[in-house]
Amino acid sequence: MATQQNSETEQQAPRRAVEAATRFVSGHGGSARAVVENLGRGGARIVLIGADGALGDVMVPDPATGESVVEQVEGLDSSEWDADTAAALTIGPGHRRRMAGPRAR
């Protein structure tokens, strides 16, 4: 039964999401943390924090799909927004300006 559940989980993860997360991991130090955030009807966001502190994200249809993506990507560890995860994130001035929008410019 566990094998059946595992194969269903693997089928659930969109290939594009797995590929995007894999590229992020390989491009940012070979490992990363992932926080799956439920966005309600909008789906879910997998927030990626690379070993180098880089921030990225991948959108998926729902949190279960997000967890499935995390399980399938080597070097990607499931995490939560705890002190260690927040401390691993490095946000530079350019990224802060983009997040702040046009009023900050």
CA dist 32 and 73 (Å) reads 10
Residue spans of the domains in the chain: they are 2-87
For 28-82, write each residue's pLDDT tens digit: 999 999 999 999 998 999 999 999 999 999 999 999 999 999 999 999 999 999 9
The model's pTM is 0.80
pLDDT in tens, 24-35: 999 999 999 999
Confidence (pLDDT) at 97: 81
Rounded (10°) angle between helices 63-72 and 2-12: 100
pLDDT digits (tens, 9 = 90+) for 82-101: 999 999 998 888 877 887 88
